Amino acid sequence: MFYLIVFRARSETMKFYSILSSYGVKSEIVNTPRQISVACGISLKISSQDVPIAKEILTRRQFNTFAGIYLGSGTFQKY
């Protein structure tokens, strides 16, 4: 199972990718599915085991364009 972390700005997506990497969290930059229409076009794909640390980082830092975390199933439900 995987999750997508979605931002409305590419720059914040890339910044969060770098921050996750510095914490040792593996993530992948992927195209945002069309079903998630609030995004900039790219998102970060992470494993379910890394969601808690991603949420912790998101609450500690200010990301003005954070749009949500979505469960990466066929319907992309917001987490």
pLDDT tens digits, 30-77:
999 988 988 789 999 999 999 999 999 999 998 999 999 999 877 787
**Residue 65 token pair:** 């364009």
Residue 55 is predicted with a pLDDT of 97
40 or 9: which leads in pLDDT: 9
pLDDT at position 45 is: 97
Phi and psi dihedrals of 70, rounded to 5?
-120, 135
Give Cβ neighbours of residue 46 (< 8 Å, ≥ 6 apart).
2, 3, 4, 5, 20, 25, 26, 27, 28, 54
Domains delineated in the chain: 2-71 (3.30.70)
Question: And the tokens for 35?
Answer: 């079903």
Q: Is 9 exposed, middle or buried (0-12, 13-18, 19+ CB in 10 A)?
A: middle
pLDDT score at 71: 92
Q: What pTM, to 2 d.p., does this model score?
A: 0.90
